[in-house]
């Protein structure tokens, strides 16, 4: 079964600093990879997804992620953090079974300091 590992359950950055949230996947075949964001008391919103096209994927709110097969990574970055970026971020991989459900990482809570 495929899986993802998110390194760091909590990340704190200063406003304007680089955001880097780490995700590593485990898969024997090319995966589909996703980043979702969850704001307090809300559902999950798709930030971006990798579907085997370009390895550098741009998403909403200035976020992007790069698929690196050699490192089995799909880290999420944003050049300059904004206070509104404070949320929980989930990396997910698409299951190769027929259900096509997502398997999620444990999440990383991003805190942005003024």
Partner 1 sequence: GAGVSQSPSNKVTEKGKDVELRCDPISGHTALYWYRQSLGQGLEFLIYFQGNSAPDKSGLPSDRFSAERTGGSVSTLTIQRTQQEDSAVYLCASSFDRGQGNTIYFGEGSWLTVV
For partner 1, give the closer residue by CB, 2 or 81.
2
Q: Distance (Å, rounded) from C-alpha 81 to C-alpha 19?
A: 6
> Is residue 49 at the binding interface for partner 1, with CB under 8 A as the rule?
yes
State yes or no: residue 96 binds partner 1 (CB under 8 A). Answer: yes
Cα Rg of the chain, angstroms: 14
Judged by CB under 8 A, the residue of 7, 44, 64, 86 near partner 1 is 44
For the CB of residue 14, give the shortest distance to partner 1 in the complex, in Å: 27
| Non-local CB neighbours of 14 within 8 Å, separated by 6+ positions | 81, 112, 113, 114
């Amino acid at each position: 079964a495929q899986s993802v590992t998110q390194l760091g359950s909590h990340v704190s950055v200063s406003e304007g600093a680089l955001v880097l949230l780490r995700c590593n996947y485990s898969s024997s075949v090319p995966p589909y990879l996703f980043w979702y964001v969850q704001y307090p008391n809300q559902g999950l919103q798709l930030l971006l997804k990798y579907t085997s096209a370009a390895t550098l994927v741009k998403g909403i709110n200035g976020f992007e992620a790069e698929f690196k097969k050699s490192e089995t990574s799909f880290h999420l970055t944003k050049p300059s953090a904004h206070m509104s970026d404070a949320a929980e971020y989930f990396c997910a991989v698409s299951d190769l079974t027929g259900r096509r459900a997502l398997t999620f990482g444990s999440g990383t809570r991003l805190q942005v300091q003024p």
